[in-house]
Amino acid sequence: MSALDLLPEAIAGTNAEAADAHARDLDALAAKLERKGLDADALKAKVAAFTVAIPSWGTGTGGTRFARFPGPGEPAGIFDKLDDCAAIHRLCRATPDVSLHFPWDGDDPAALKQKGDALGIGFDAVNSNTFQDQPDQAHSYKHGSLSHQSKATRDQAIAHNIRCIEIGAAIGSKALTVWVGDGTNFPGQQDFTGQLDRYLESAKAIYAALPSDWRMFTEHKIYEPAFYSTIVQDWGTSYLIATELGDKAQCLVDLGHHAPTVNVEMIVARLAAFGKLGGFHFNDSKYGDDDLDSGAIDPYRLFLVMNEVLRAEAKGANLAHMIDQSHNVTDPIESLIASANEARRAYAQALLVDQDALRHAQESNDALLASETLKAAFRTDVEPLLAEVRREAGGALDPLVAYRASGYRQAVAKERPVSSGAGGGIV
């Protein structure tokens, strides 16, 4: 028996217990929405259609350069990870797809596809890894990958990305996300422009290998692992790269990859306005790329981002929504459930914005009323609506409660080997 088999009963049981209170909360919310002229059913349909992909690597406990503290029952490989992703989706019904990372997730597309099909899990964008060295690797990425001074190293990194596309094509993915750590730690270490030229040349070789119905996502990040300069340091460079590459190239916005105080929702709007917004890596942050749980630190910012998502989608944008977090002190399954819920919450709140009132306030320069219009939507407690969407899709009214009740983690802890804390010790 798989640990996944523990879930249906836990879902049914906890749903039954919560049914009454849920019904009352839902009624109250529906009445309130109705008073505002909103149709709860239409909202539910839109919320149900909003899904986020789970990163396979997010199911393991993350860490920092100082240490990694494993938890019980950590996934030992990609098949365990896919089990965990399936568990998440069965509970929250918001995460039908998984985003894979290679070579972390092996090189056996047939087995991946088979496992995914068996679990009812699909595959979102595939991710290449040229920021680490693998044991059997000919050329080191210590001094860069796609932008490396040496053509042999660049070619190796290009070949890896093309292999990612091949695997992705075999499992039904439609996009490649390219994030590299290339950069410098010292002024002068590399010439900014020469480095970017080499990067562009490499990226073009990868782009040329894209199937016709694929997209290639370029992702910016201000710093880390490089600490003086990073080659795709901001959305400006990301936009220029995507533009150089062509129509299939778009920009991915990781919410935590910006300088302090930067207005991220505005960057989303800019990329959308110029036709290059491809999607998101959701997470939250207080200091840097903290990779904290979505909405854990600044839920209003997430709501403001979702406002721009809605505007972009209204204009026809096809956005890839993915979570990218590091779960250092929680059960990763719980964090991913909560984060998917937070993303949907912010999306649902954004759906409640009175667009006519907002437009009127903007046109009359009524800043306060515009602000209040957004906040009125934000402070609506949409949790009953989110719960109902889950329930209708077979999920849990309260997925965390159901998960804890299921004993899933304890069950897999018995089956899976104890993970080491490897990764610590670099200071």
When binding is defined by CB under 8 A, the residue of 173, 373, 388, 395 that contacts a copy of itself is 373
Is the separation of the CB atoms in 73 and 135 below 8 Å? no
Q: Does 241 bind a copy of itself (CB under 8 A)?
A: no
Is the separation of the CB atoms in 145 and 153 below 8 Å? yes
User: In the range 52-111, which residues lie near a copy of itself by CB under 8 A?
Assistant: 57, 62-69, 104
Is the separation of the CB atoms in 229 and 291 below 8 Å? no
User: Cβ 256 to a copy of itself, closest distance in Å?
Assistant: 10
Q: Quick one: CA torsion of 427, 63, 195, 275, rounded to 10 degrees?
A: -150
For a copy of itself, give the closer residue by CB, 79 or 104: 104
For a copy of itself, give the closer residue by CB, 84 or 308: 308
Q: Does 246 bind a copy of itself (CB under 8 A)?
A: no
Q: Does 412 bind a copy of itself (CB under 8 A)?
A: no
User: Cβ 129 to a copy of itself, closest distance in Å?
Assistant: 9
169, exposed or middle or buried, with CB in 10 Å at 0-12, 13-18, 19+? middle
User: In the range 316-335, which residues lie near a copy of itself by CB under 8 A?
Assistant: 326, 328-331, 334-335
User: In the range 334-363, which residues lie near a copy of itself by CB under 8 A?
Assistant: 334-335, 338, 345, 358-359, 361-363
Residue 111, SS3?
helix
Q: Are strands 122-123 and 101-102 parallel, antiparallel or unpaired?
A: unpaired
User: Cβ 212 to a copy of itself, closest distance in Å?
Assistant: 28
Structure tokens at 71: 């938890």
Cα 399 to Cα 87: distance, rounded to the nearest angstrom: 10
User: In the range 184-213, which residues lie near a copy of itself by CB under 8 A?
Assistant: 184-194, 196-197
DSSP count for the chain of H helices, then E strands: 15, 12
User: In the range 267-286, which residues lie near a copy of itself by CB under 8 A?
Assistant: 267, 269-270, 272-274, 285-286
When binding is defined by CB under 8 A, the residue of 48, 76, 140, 319 that contacts a copy of itself is 140
> Can you spell out the DSSP letters for 79-106?
HHHHHHHHHHHHHHS---EEE-EETTT-
Q: Quick one: CA torsion of 197, 280, 401, 389, rounded to 10 degrees?
A: -150
When binding is defined by CB under 8 A, the residue of 8, 12, 24, 314 that contacts a copy of itself is 24
Q: Does 139 bind a copy of itself (CB under 8 A)?
A: no
User: In the range 211-230, which residues lie near a copy of itself by CB under 8 A?
Assistant: 222-225, 227-229
